[in-house]
């Protein structure tokens, strides 16, 4: 299994930020595109729509329980560290191959840094973090069905496509796989199996 990341621009004007705070009792809440399926990303990878749709569906448990946390910048880890959390994903849904979502910036140390960056007009990106394998398909790499979404992180993103140096996918260590299994927990694994069964039934 490899640690995989995917980057998308997440742009917001100062007027939109002010409106967001007014509507949400002072809280900074932003909505936009979290990820796209079936398109070649800057890492040369393609996420199939069915794989991404399944992971968004499985991620609803984290959202419902208020555990859909993300970090500021991508750590080189397969788990979310509470000390580095900057935001929480409040909603995520997929429509026509695009994942749309809403995030709330938290009053944590990293959340306050994120608020300051956004309100200063700094462009940010949102990036998924997950684990799984890939397979070379012609000129690109396709993410395989064993992919598991961990979270969406906030990252820096340049205005010029391709100017950003991405971390290459790397293999997870045995310790990281064990940490990931503990992070996901048995209840999440059971939910994944049930969701897959229900999806299979719906497709019959």
Each residue of 83-112: pLDDT tens digit?
999 999 999 999 999 899 999 999 999 999
Per residue in 150-172, pLDDT (tens digit) is 999 988 763 223 322 233 344 55
C-alpha distances in angstroms, 97 versus 86, 183, 189? Answer: 27, 28, 24
pLDDT at 195 over 70: no
Domain containing 70: what range? 2-203
Give the mean pLDDT of the chain: 79
Model confidence pTM above 0.75: no
Count Cβ atoms within 10 A of the Cβ of residue 113 and give its class: 0-12 exposed, 13-18 middle, 19 or more buried: middle
Q: pLDDT higher for 56 or 164?
A: 56
Q: pLDDT higher for 24 or 191?
A: 24
Best CA proximity match to 156, nearest among 127, 129, 189: 127
pLDDT of residue 165: 27
Best CA proximity match to 35, nearest among 45, 24, 22, 23: 45
Q: How many domains does the chain have?
A: 1
Average pLDDT (174-183) is 64
Backbone angles phi, psi at 145, to 5 degrees: -60, -15
Average pLDDT (178-188) is 61
Angle formed at CA 101 by CA 56 and CA 178, multiple of 5 degrees: 45
Average pLDDT (40-65) is 91
pLDDT of residue 40: 83
Which residue blocks in the chain are alpha helix, DSSP H?
14-23, 49-64, 109-119, 174-203
Percent of the chain with pLDDT over 70: 71
Q: Which helix (H) or strand (E) holds 30?
A: strand 28-36
């Amino acid at each position: 299994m490899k640690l995989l990341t995917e980057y998308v621009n997440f742009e917001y004007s100062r007027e939109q930020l002010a409106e967001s705070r007014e509507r949400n009792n002072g809280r900074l809440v932003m909505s936009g595109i979290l990820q796209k399926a079936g398109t070649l990303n800057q890492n040369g990878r393609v996420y199939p729509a069915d794989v991404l749709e399944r992971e968004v569906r499985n991620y609803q448990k984290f959202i419902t329980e208020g555990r859909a946390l993300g970090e500021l910048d991508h750590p080189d880890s397969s788990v979310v560290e509470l000390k580095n959390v900057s935001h929480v994903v409040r909603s995520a849904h997929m429509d026509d191959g695009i994942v749309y979502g809403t995030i709330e910036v938290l009053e944590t140390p990293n959340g306050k840094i994120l608020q300051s960056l956004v309100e200063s007009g700094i462009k940010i990106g949102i990036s998924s973090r997950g684990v799984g394998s890939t397979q070379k398909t012609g000129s690109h790499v396709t993410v395989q069905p064993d992919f598991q979404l961990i979270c969406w992180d906030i990252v820096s993103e340049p205005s010029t496509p391709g100017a950003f140096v991405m971390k290459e996918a790397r293999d997870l260590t045995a310790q990281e796989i064990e940490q990931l299994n503990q992070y996901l927990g048995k209840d999440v694994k059971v939910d994944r199996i049930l969701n897959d069964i229900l999806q299979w039934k719906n497709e019959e």
